[in-house]
């Protein structure tokens, strides 16, 4: 007589314990794979079981939302006085606390706000968009790329900015001309057949808007020196920017920015600020969410966990069967714990990256230059100027005059706040001369100084990118349960700088925890009979 998978797991659980049963479930494919859709869990799965979630960022909120619907008794501990983690929208009256800096009080007018963390959602981030739909969070279009925006490079093009559409189309024209000439001269005979050439040349002429002799003499795609108008106001196209000038501009790479799947030309943002997603979870979660709860110790307690925290000068504890830990690794390493030695070492081995944002309130002068949303690229420490997609044609808006990440961001964050503000203001002046004086009410966010974060995302493999191919042993280890401890968050996904990473990591953790619970349930009958 054969042995069913269920009976096998009963026997394995009795002999080898819960860990063996859980491992076997994984090997047998009984742990469901992560998908963009939420895990499908029975409402009875968590009956009689407690989960404590450390951190109320997006990953923690997703876990709380899904697990309480699966019957678990959930408690969420959050060190800040707000929920959302890196999902943080600043409005008038809010305070920005940074380690080593005086507090900043945001003075923006009504309806002006700064998304200090994530500020856009690509269309393929189906997990996050799914929660927006389920939670009733209204969305609007975020204009991520505008061809009316500008690119500026120090020492390039006589110090004058180039409109994005001209940078894109003049580059395309010059490259098409070069390729067409190479074909006509037979330079590509080894690669192209005569038939290929006959088809490719007309395409290049259309692609680059070349003249009949296959030369690039400018294109209306790059914009007008004089726009077409009434009566005899004929259009005059801009003279092309020489290829040498285009290539000399280090920001020319921004002309392919929107080709990155995570940086689509049109994206989404919640109407009223990114924290509307957090507000949606707040409305939906009925479990206790304890704010200002600074976790001081995480320990095993029998087969479960005990978490100590301080709140308002009082020390308290929470006991549970499982702990889901979303605390950033840079913070977690400073909390007393009894993780396994390998996990303890892993937690302390991953440094954080650096990222800075500086926002100003300003009259919408950019709209008079036909810029509605999108990004102008300026390079240097401040990197870019990001225009608001909301509130078009209103009097004032929030201009993001710095969003820098990577190695340069560390040195920039070390500057006095006044120097950072001055650098951001000067960058605006280089592409919008005379308007830098209209920038008011600056707010600086150096994520390396933000309490309970100490950085935007991990610096995996010395690479500060927001997404990548993480496959190092430390990453793999922290993506596995350590007994009753489960680690999750965007920092443990392939998209550490995106909210979608937090959602998918949470889904994976929920599945792993559910597998532990099922394995325990399978092992209990056999254990009781022995």
pLDDT digit string (tens) for 179-192?
998 888 887 777 77
Q: What share of the chain is helix, strand, coil (3-state, %, to 5)?
A: 40, 20, 40
Q: Which of 45-49, 185-189, 479-483 has the lowest mean pLDDT?
A: 185-189
pLDDT digit string (tens) for 304-333?
999 999 999 999 999 999 999 999 999 999
Nearest to 134 by CA among 269, 33, 38: 38
CA angle 73, 128, 325 (to 5 degrees): 40
260: its two tokens: 């990155």
Section 472-499 average pLDDT: 96
90 in Cβ contact with 114 (< 8 Å): yes
pTM: 0.90
Helix residue ranges, H only, 49-193: 58-69, 126-135, 164-184
What residue has token string 């504890």?
A: 317
176: its two tokens: 């098409």
What residue has token string 């690794």?
A: 329
Q: What pLDDT is stored for residue 467 in this prediction?
A: 78
Direct distance between the N- and C-terminal alpha carbons of the chain, in angstroms, rounded to an integer: 22
What's the CATH number for 164-248? 1.20.1440.240
283 in Cβ contact with 131 (< 8 Å): no
Q: What SS3 class is residue 56?
A: coil
Q: Tell me the sheet residues that pair with 235.
A: none
pLDDT digit string (tens) for 263-309?
999 999 999 999 999 999 999 999 999 999 999 999 999 999 999 99
3-state secondary structure 297-313: EEEEECCEEEEEEEECC
Q: Domain 5-84+277-351+456-529: which topology?
A: FAD/NAD(P)-binding domain (3.50.50)
Residue 177 has pLDDT above 80, yes or no: yes
What's the CATH number for 89-149+264-274+354-449? 3.90.660.10
What are the residue boundaries of the structural domains of the chain, listed by start? 5-84+277-351+456-529, 89-149+264-274+354-449, 164-248
Integer Cα distance of 366 and 387 in angstroms: 8
Q: What pLDDT is stored for residue 524 in this prediction?
A: 74
State whether the Cα torsion 501-507-508-512 is positive or negative: positive
Q: Which of 34-38, 50-54, 120-124, 346-350 has the lowest mean pLDDT?
A: 34-38
pLDDT digit string (tens) for 389-429?
999 999 999 999 999 998 899 999 999 999 999 999 999 99
E strand or H helix that includes residue 503:
helix 499-529
Integer Cα distance of 351 and 479 in angstroms: 17
Q: What pLDDT is stored for residue 187 in this prediction?
A: 77
pLDDT digit string (tens) for 427-467?
999 999 999 999 999 999 999 999 999 999 999 877 666 77
């Amino acid at each position: 007589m054969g042995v069913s998978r269920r009976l096998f797991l009963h026997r394995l659980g009795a002999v080898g314990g819960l860990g063996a049963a859980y491992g076997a479930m994984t090997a047998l494919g009984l742990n469901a794979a992560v998908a963009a859709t939420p895990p499908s869990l029975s409402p009875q799965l968590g009956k009689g079981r407690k989960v404590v979630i450390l951190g109320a960022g997006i990953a923690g909120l997703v876990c709380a939302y899904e697990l309480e619907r699966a019957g678990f008794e959930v408690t969420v501990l959050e060190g800040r006085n707000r929920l959302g983690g890196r999902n943080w929208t600043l409005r008038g009256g809010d305070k920005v606390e940074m380690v080593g800096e005086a507090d900043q009080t945001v003075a923006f007018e009504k309806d002006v706000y700064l998304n200090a963390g994530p500020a856009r959602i690509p269309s393929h981030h189906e997990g996050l968009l799914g929660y927006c739909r389920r939670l009733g969070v209204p969305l609007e279009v975020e204009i991520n790329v505008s061809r009316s925006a500008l690119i500026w490079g120090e020492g390039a093009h006589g110090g004058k900015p180039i409109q994005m559409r001209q940078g894109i189309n003049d580059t395309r024209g010059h490259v098409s001309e070069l390729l067409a000439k190479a074909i006509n001269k037979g330079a590509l005979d080894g690669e192209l057949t005569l038939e290929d050439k006959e088809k490719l040349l007309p395409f290049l002429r259309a692609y680059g808007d070349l003249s009949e002799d296959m030369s690039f003499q400018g294109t209306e795609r790059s914009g007008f020196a004089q726009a077409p108008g009434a009566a005899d106001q004929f259009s005059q196209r801009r003279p092309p920017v020489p290829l040498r000038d285009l290539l000399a501009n280090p920001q020319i790479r921004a002309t392919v920015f929107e080709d990155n799947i995570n940086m689509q030309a049109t994206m989404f943002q919640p109407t009223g600020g990114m924290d509307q997603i957090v507000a949606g979870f707040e409305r939906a979660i009925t479990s206790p969410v304890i704010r200002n709860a600074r976790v001081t110790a995480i320990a095993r307690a029998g087969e479960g966990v005990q978490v100590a925290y301080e709140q308002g000068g009082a020390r308290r504890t929470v006991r549970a069967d499982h702990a889901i830990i979303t605390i950033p690794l840079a913070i977690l390493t400073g909390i007393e714990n009894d993780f396994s030695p390998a996990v303890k070492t892993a937690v302390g081995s991953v440094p954080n990256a650096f990222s800075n944002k500086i926002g100003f309130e300003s009259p919408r002068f950019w709209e008079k230059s036909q810029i509605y949303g999108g990004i102008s690229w300026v390079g240097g420490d401040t990197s870019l100027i990001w225009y608001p997609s909301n509130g078009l044609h209103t009097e004032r808006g929030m201009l993001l005059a710095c969003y820098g990440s990577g190695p340069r961001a560390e040195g920039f964050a070390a500057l006095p706040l006044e120097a950072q503000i001055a650098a951001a203001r000067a960058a605006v002046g280089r592409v919008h001369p005379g308007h830098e004086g209209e920038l008011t009410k600056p707010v600086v966010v150096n994520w390396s100084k933000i309490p309970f974060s100490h950085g935007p995302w991990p610096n995996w493999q010395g690479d500060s990118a927001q997404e990548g191919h993480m496959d190092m042993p430390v990453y793999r280890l922290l993506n596995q349960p350590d007994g009753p401890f489960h680690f999750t968050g965007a920092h443990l996904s392939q998209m550490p700088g995106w909210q979608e990473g937090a959602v998918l990591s949470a889904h994976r953790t929920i599945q792993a925890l559910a597998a532990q619970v099922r394995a325990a349930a399978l092992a209990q009958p056999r254990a009781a009979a022995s």
